[in-house]
Structure 1
Amino acid sequence: MPFTTGCSLGNMNEQDKLPFPTPSHWINGRAVPGSGPVIDVINPADESVVASVPGGTAEDVDKAVDAAVAAFPGWSATSPADRIAVIRRLAEGMQKHNESLAETITLEMGAPISFARQAQAGFPVASTLAAVAAAEEFEWEETIGNSLVVHEAIGVVGAITPWNFPLQQLVTKVVPALLGGNTIVLKPSEMSPLSALMFAEIASAAGLPDGVLNVVQGTGPVVGEAISRHPRIDMISFTGSTRAGKSVSVAASDTVKRVALELGGKAAHIVLPDADLDFAVSRGLAFAWSNGGQACGAYVRMLVPAGLQETVVEKLRAAAAEYSVGDPADEATRIGPLASETQRQRVDGYIRRGVEDGATLVVGGPGRPEGLETGAYVRPTIFSDVDPSSVIAQEEIFGPVLTVIPYTDDDDAVRIANSTIYGLNAAVTGEEEHAMAIAKRLRVGQVDVNGGPHNFQAPFGGYKQSGNGREMGRAGIEEFLETKAITH
């Protein structure tokens, strides 16, 4: 591993050393030992301890904020072109270290290594380059009538990121904030904190000045709370559960700082009667079970015409047989463990609830997969004949669980799709004009029609309790800017 964020392991014997160097906080351009209790990072595939990180404190947050405040005048005064050059080198650094980043993410949260290379470590490079392209075209100053309108940095941004896509979610906040001239105090999830320290080292090597990006390890109730309440942090950008997002909003309200939230989802994939069913099933299942279903945008509700449900279910049954479950370090594995034992128990509880509530079990079910008694593994599961008002159709499960829900007509499909508290994303598969008409009726932030390729320039964010604000592309940069009108 080419990274050096490991703190001293003290008097530990050689045979007791962890397989991954123990990182620390990253404050003012260097690794800083923490003062709080140690948090173990667990490999969910075999329950081994792969590293330990310090459990940060409010005092650690204060030190990071001091560094960010001190660095802000210089970084915000740096020309957009010079900031862009640093971020472009950062993208090159992530690409260079793709394999190390992918292996680390597989260790810390269980993503299959092939998926980790392509998505967990690959998407951050693509989204960074998309942000660079948006910044190159951005009008930092514009004239409106007799006013000069200036777009400038907010100040110090507190970024709180989740465990499921630890590097990608970090990049979608940190990169546009940096391009806008802001400085950062970042709290990665304590479940998957290692890739964040690697990112900080890559950013430093790319020429990011000391203090511009700071990383404080720790838990949400301690470090996240301290960041959200801190009077010298000007904005919070949070990705995580809707429950936690509400807590962040409350904590941030005392200082009336800007809060951007990217929260939960319960995406509906509407399969229209005129759809190519083989394509709909193949893509739908892939997006339901990708990353073990641990994605806020996973297509977890497949809405199908009632008369086609039996045909779709048989196609899903055949497609599901192609998904191997096992060791995430194995190149052939398509579904690895969930990110933690706590998450495994949670998802297994939802599967049991689906059975209890009378949904038809198509594949999978409660319990561990055969031969995988150790590790956070669940059985990838498909239910059919699901009541759209049932628990498994309404609540975010965050695991490889697909619910198939029959509908009668277009109006019924739209009603079911819009019936949850969430509004993050959706998908529609069918004849193009028909699918586009349905897409415009859905109360979500983004809709995939017939498998359109992902657009890293398009805004990403939710309606309703899926949050507010937008990430990615030009909209992602605007999220981290203040607007000033100078009238003359």
Structure 2
Amino acid sequence: MSHALVGGHHAIVSTPDGVLRIASPSDLDDVLGEVPFARALADEAVESARRAQPAWEALGLEGRIAHLRRFQAVLAAHEDDIAALIAREMGKPRREGRAEAKAMVAKIDIAVGEGLALVADRQVDRKLAWRYRPHGVVSVIGPFNFPLHLPHGHIVPALLAGNTVVFKPSEVTPHTGLLYARLVDEAGLPAGVVNVVPG
């Protein structure tokens, strides 16, 4: 099983700095597995995101929106998988996992709609204009209680604005982060635009 998404490749950690052993809180005999992690992968992920950022920004807003719409379709197609894994790994009732999955799909609509209006270029007066530009690489650290919805709520606007992302899932819910990595890959986002590194 792959344990990180770095530069568009699923990286298997061969020399880990540690291993996360995850069992379902609702059934401690239900062991989801072990997720090895390596600090060196975080450095690789940041460098990968840095290299990918200029091309991602150069796609322009419409190009980035098209990629995010494909990602949205993949998320919608996998709502059941997302809900089931959240329920299993962090112990939420499945209905709450489903609500989290649906919120992830809706977040893309919100970011493309209302979010863009907040960062649109504005001419304040004849001499003053506001122009928003990407920061470059954005890191997102996920919490355990909303393991995908909350980080996704930061990842989507960052991507829309032309930034690239390194996402570190919670050490309590690394498998949901790995699922996110697989969905990013399935959606065909360009290599290095979203990197997922558990730890």
Letter in 2 for 1:159: V
Deviations 1:414-460 (A, max 9, x none): xxxxxxxxxxxxxxxxxxxxxxxxxxxxxxxxxxxxxxxxxxxxxxx
Structure 2: gaps spanning 5 or more residues: none
For residue 47 of structure 1, give the secondary structure of its aligned residue in structure 2. Answer: strand
- Which residue, 81, 102, 112 being the options, matches 1:132? 112
1:30 to 1, 4, 9: 9
Give the TM-score normalised by the residue count of structure 2.
0.91
Amino acid at match of 2:75: M
Amino acid at match of 2:69: R
Percent identical pairs in the alignment equals 35
1:202 aligns with 2:183: yes
Tell me the equivalent position of 1:122.
Answer: 102
Q: Please give the alpha-carbon distance, in whole angstroms, between the structure 1 residues aligned to 2:168 and 2:141.
A: 5
**Deviation for aligned residue 1:32:** 0.4
Q: Residues 161 and 169 of structure 1 are in contact (CA less than 8 Å); yes or no, is this contact kept in structure 2?
A: yes
Cα distance 1:153–1:200, how it changes in 2: closer, same or farther (>3 A)?
Answer: same
Shift of 1:135: 4.6
Measure the CA separation in 2 of the matches of 1:113 and 1:217.
Answer: 23
Q: Is structure 2 residue 169 aligned with structure 1 residue 184?
A: no
2:33 paired with 1:51: yes
Alignment partners' CA distance in 2, 1:133 and 1:56: 38
What secondary structure is seen at the aligned counterpart in 2 of 1:152? Answer: coil
Matches within 5 A, 1:318-357: none
Distance 2:151 2:63 in 1: 21
Match of 1:366 in 2: none
Greater radius of gyration (CA)? 1
CA distance in 1 between counterparts of 2:142 and 2:69 reads 22
Q: Within 2, Cα distance between the matches of 1:204 and 1:142?
A: 35
> Does the Cα contact within 8 Å between 1:25 and 1:216 map onto a contact in 2?
yes
- Unaligned stretches of 5+ residues in structure 1: 1-5, 8-23, 219-488
CA–CA distance in 1 between the matches of 2:151 and 2:185? 16
Structure 1 residues 156 and 139, CA, compared in 2 at 3 Å: closer, same or farther? closer
Find the counterpart in structure 2 of residue 247 from structure 1: none
Instruction: Choose which of 181, 192, 199 in structure 2 pairs with 1:211.
Output: 192
Residue of structure 2 in register with 1:164 after alignment = 145
Structure 1 counterpart of 2:88, one-letter code: L
Q: Distance in 2 between matches of 1:115 and 1:137?
A: 30
8 Å Cα contact 2:4-2:181 kept in structure 1: no
If asked which structure has higher relative contact order (CA below 8 Å, sep 6+), I would say 2
CA distance in 2, matches of 1:132, 1:53: 34
Mapped partners of 1:90, 1:206: distance in 2: 5
Pick the aligned partner of 1:42 from 23, 28, 31.
Answer: 23
Counting only pairs closer than 5 Å after superposition, residues 36-435 of structure 1 correspond to structure 2 as: 36=16, 37-48=18-29, 49-57=31-39, 59-117=40-98, 119-135=99-115, 137=117, 140-144=120-124, 145-218=126-199
The CA deviation at 1:209 is: 0.6
* 1:43-68 per-position Cα deviation (integer Å, ceiling 9, x unaligned): 111113212111231x2111101101
Q: Deviations over 1:355-390 (max 9, x none)?
A: xxxxxxxxxxxxxxxxxxxxxxxxxxxxxxxxxxxx
CA 141–189 in structure 1, closer or farther in 2 if over 3 Å, else same? same
The residue type equivalent to 1:106 in the other structure is: A
Aligned residues: 195
**Distance of 1:77 and 1:148 partners within structure 2:** 21
Q: State the AA in 2 paired with 1:30.
A: H
Note the aligned Cα RMSD (angstroms): 1.6
Distance in 1 of aligned mates of 2:173 and 2:54: 32
**What is the DSSP-based 3-state SS (H/G/I as helix, E as strand, rest coil) of the residue aligned with 1:153?**
coil
In the TM superposition, what is the alpha-carbon distance from 1:141 to its structure 2 partner?
Answer: 2.5
| TM-score of the superposed pair, with normalisation by structure 1 | 0.38
* SS at 1:151 equivalent: coil
Which one-letter code corresponds to 1:130 in the other structure?
I
1:170 maps to amino acid: P
CA contact (8 A) 1:87 1:132 kept: no
Q: Distance in 2 between matches of 1:135 and 1:165?
A: 21
